[in-house]
A and B are shown apart, each in its own frame.
Chain A
Amino acid sequence: MIGKILFAGDRAEALALLSKGDAVLYGGGTELNRLGSLIKAENAVVLAEPEGGISTRQGRIRYALGTTFQAAIDHPKTPAYMREALAFMGSLQKREAATIAGNLYLHRDDSYLVPTLLAAGAVVELDWKDEISAEEYLASFDSLRQRIISCVSVPLKAPVVSKRIAMTKESLAVLTAAAANPDFAWAAVKGTGIVKVGFSDVKCENCVARALNQAGVRFVSDIYGSDEYKAYLTKTVLFDLHKEAGR
Chain B
Amino acid sequence: MKFYCTINGKLTVLDAEPAACLRQVLADAGHFCVRDSDDREGFAGSDTILYNGRPVYSNLMCAWQADGAEIRTPDGLAQGRSLTVVQQAMIDAGIVQSAYNAPAAALLLTWLLENHPNPTRAQIRDALSGIFIRDAGYEHYYLAVKLAVTGKKPSELIPEFRKNLDYVGKALPKVDGPQLVKGEQAYVEDFVEPGACWLEVLRSPYASAYITDIDTSEAEKLEGVVKILTYKDVPEIYYTTAGQGSPEPSPHDKKLLNQKVRHVGDRVAAILADSRETAKRAKELIKVEYQVLEPVLTVEQAMAPGAPVVQGGEVSFGVGAPDNLDAYNAGADPREGKIHYPFPINADPKHNLASAAHGQIGDVQKGFAEADEVIERTYQTDQVQCTPLEVHVCFSKIEGGRLVIKASTQIPYHLRRVVAKVCSIPESKVHVIKEKVGGGYGSKQDILIEDLCAYMTWITGKAIYTRNTRVEEFIANSTRHPMKVTIKMGAKKDGRITAISFDCRANTGPYGNHCLTVPMNSCSKTLPLFKVDNMKFDVYTYYTNCPPTGAYQGYGAPKGTYALMMCLGELAKAVGQDYLSMVKKNCVEEGYMLEILAGLGEGRAGAVVPVGSCGLMQAIERGAAMMGWDRPLENDPDSDWKRGRGFAMLQQGSGLPGLDHATAIAKLETDGSIIVQSGGSDLGTGLDTITAKVTAETLKVPMDMISVISGDTDASGFDTGAYASSGTFYSGNASLLAAENLKKKIIAEAALQMDENPDNLSLEYPGRVVSTSGKSLSFFEINHTATGGTGRGQLMAEGSFATTNAAIPYGAHFAQVAVNTRTGEIKVEKFYAFQDAGTPINPDMALCQIYGAALKSIGHTLYEGMILDENGVCLNPNFTDYRVPMIWEQPDDFKAVLIDINDYYGPFGAKSISEIATNGAAPAIGIAIADACGVWIRDWPMTPEKILRGLGRI
Question: Which residues of A are found within 8 Å of B879, using beta-carbon distances?
Answer: 170
Give Cα A91 to B56, complex, Å: 10
Q: Give the contacts of A15-40 with B (CB-CB under 8 A).
A: 26, 29-30, 33-36
> Is there a chain B Cβ closer than 8 Å to A229's Cβ?
yes
30 examples of A-B residue contacts, CB within 8 angstroms: A1-B40, A2-B62, A3-B19, A4-B19, A5-B64, A29-B61, A33-B62, A34-B41, A35-B39, A36-B878, A44-B19, A70-B54, A90-B888, A91-B42, A93-B42, A93-B45, A93-B55, A93-B130, A96-B51, A96-B55, A96-B56, A97-B57, A165-B944, A167-B944, A169-B886, A170-B879, A171-B880, A229-B954, A232-B948, A240-B822
Query: Given contacts A223-B876, A233-B823, are A97 and B881 in contact (CB under 8 A)?
Result: no
Query: Given contacts A94-B42, A96-B56, are A35 and B126 in contact (CB under 8 A)?
Result: no
Question: Which residues of A are found within 8 Å of B18, using beta-carbon distances?
Answer: 4-5, 7
Question: Which residues of B are found within 8 Å of A171, using beta-carbon distances?
Answer: 863, 880-881, 883
Question: Which residues of B are found within 8 Å of A237, using beta-carbon distances?
Answer: 823
Contact call A35/B41, Cβ cutoff below 8 A: yes
Give Cα A36 to B878, complex, Å: 10
Give Cα A30 to B59, complex, Å: 9
> Is there a chain A Cβ closer than 8 Å to B578's Cβ?
no
> Is there a chain B Cβ closer than 8 Å to A172's Cβ?
yes
Taking the closest CB of chain B, its distance from the CB of A7, in whole angstroms, is: 8
Contact call A172/B56, Cβ cutoff below 8 A: no
Query: Given contacts A29-B60, A170-B888, A236-B823, are A93 and B954 in contact (CB under 8 A)?
Result: no
Q: Give the contacts of A48-100 with B (CB-CB under 8 A).
A: 70, 90-94, 96-97
Question: Which residues of A are found within 8 Å of B41, using beta-carbon distances?
Answer: 34-36
Additional pairs, 10, CB under 8 Å, beyond known A223-B867, A233-B823: A46-B64, A90-B129, A91-B43, A93-B45, A96-B55, A97-B56, A168-B883, A170-B888, A172-B881, A229-B948
Query: Given contacts A33-B59, A167-B943, are A92 and B40 in contact (CB under 8 A)?
Result: no
> Is there a chain A Cβ closer than 8 Å to B953's Cβ?
yes
> Is there a chain A Cβ closer than 8 Å to B314's Cβ?
no
Give Cα A96 to B53, complex, Å: 10
Contact call A232/B60, Cβ cutoff below 8 A: no
Query: Given contacts A5-B18, A92-B130, A93-B56, are A169 and B945 in contact (CB under 8 A)?
Result: no
Question: How big is the B interface, by class?
Answer: 35 or more
> Is there a chain B Cβ closer than 8 Å to A226's Cβ?
yes
> Is there a chain A Cβ closer than 8 Å to B21's Cβ?
yes
Question: Which residues of A are found within 8 Å of B54, using beta-carbon distances?
Answer: 70, 96
Give Cα A92 to B124, complex, Å: 11
Residue of B21, B823, B824, B878 ringed by the most chain A CB atoms within 10 A: B823
Give Cα A7 to B21, complex, Å: 17
Question: Which residues of B are found within 8 Å of A2, using beta-carbon distances?
Answer: 19, 62
Query: Given contacts A30-B60, A34-B40, are A170 and B19 in contact (CB under 8 A)?
Result: no
> Is there a chain B Cβ closer than 8 Å to A228's Cβ?
yes
Pick the contact of B863 from A4, A90, A168, A240 — CB < 8 Å? A168
> Is there a chain A Cβ closer than 8 Å to B48's Cβ?
yes
Query: Given contacts A35-B38, A35-B39, A97-B60, are A170 and B880 in contact (CB under 8 A)?
Result: yes
Chain B window 108-137, contacts with chain A (Cβ cutoff 8 Å), 1 for yes, 0 for no: 000000000000000000110111000000
Interface residues of chain B: helix, strand, loop or mixed (majority): loop
Contact call A90/B881, Cβ cutoff below 8 A: no
Contact call A94/B40, Cβ cutoff below 8 A: no
> Is there a chain A Cβ closer than 8 Å to B885's Cβ?
yes
Chain B window 60-81, contacts with chain A (Cβ cutoff 8 Å), 1 for yes, 0 for no: 1110110000000000000000
Question: Which residues of B are found within 8 Å of A3, using beta-carbon distances?
Answer: 19
Query: Given contacts A5-B19, A34-B60, A91-B129, are A236 and B822 in contact (CB under 8 A)?
Result: yes
Give Cα A164 to B21, complex, Å: 32
> Is there a chain A Cβ closer than 8 Å to B889's Cβ?
yes
Q: Give the contacts of B882-904 with A (CB-CB under 8 A).
A: 883-886, 888-889
Chain A window 217-238, contacts with chain B (Cβ cutoff 8 Å), 1 for yes, 0 for no: 0000001011011001100110
Q: Give the contacts of A171-229 with B (CB-CB under 8 A).
A: 171-172, 223, 225-226, 228-229
Question: Which residues of A are found within 8 Å of B824, using beta-carbon distances?
Answer: 233
Contact call A232/B43, Cβ cutoff below 8 A: no
Question: Which residues of B are found within 8 Å of A93, using beta-carbon distances?
Answer: 42, 45, 48, 55-57, 130-131
Query: Given contacts A33-B40, A228-B954, are A90 and B130 in contact (CB under 8 A)?
Result: yes
Taking the closest CB of chain A, its distance from the CB of B570, in whole angstroms, is: 25
> Is there a chain A Cβ closer than 8 Å to B705's Cβ?
no
Contact call A92/B126, Cβ cutoff below 8 A: yes
Chain B window 27-48, contacts with chain A (Cβ cutoff 8 Å), 1 for yes, 0 for no: 0000000000011111101001
Closest B residue to A70 by CB, please name it.
B54
Closest A residue to B867 by CB, please name it.
A223
Chain B window 797-822, contacts with chain A (Cβ cutoff 8 Å), 1 for yes, 0 for no: 00000000000000000000000001
Q: Give the contacts of B228-254 with A (CB-CB under 8 A).
A: none
Taking the closest CB of chain B, its distance from the CB of A106, in whole angstroms, is: 14
> Is there a chain A Cβ closer than 8 Å to B633's Cβ?
no
Give Cα A186 to B943, complex, Å: 25
> Is there a chain A Cβ closer than 8 Å to B659's Cβ?
no
Closest A residue to B1 by CB, please name it.
A5
> Is there a chain A Cβ closer than 8 Å to B332's Cβ?
no
Closest A residue to B43 by CB, please name it.
A170
Contact call A167/B863, Cβ cutoff below 8 A: yes
Give Cα A35 to B51, complex, Å: 21
> Is there a chain A Cβ closer than 8 Å to B369's Cβ?
no
Taking the closest CB of chain B, its distance from the CB of A195, in whole angstroms, is: 18
Give Cα A70 to B48, complex, Å: 16
Taking the closest CB of chain B, its distance from the CB of A224, in whole angstroms, is: 8
Contact call A33/B943, Cβ cutoff below 8 A: no
Give Cα A228 to B952, complex, Å: 12
Question: Which residues of A are found within 8 Å of B944, using beta-carbon distances?
Answer: 165, 167, 229, 233
Contact call A97/B130, Cβ cutoff below 8 A: no
Taking the closest CB of chain B, its distance from the CB of A239, in whole angstroms, is: 9
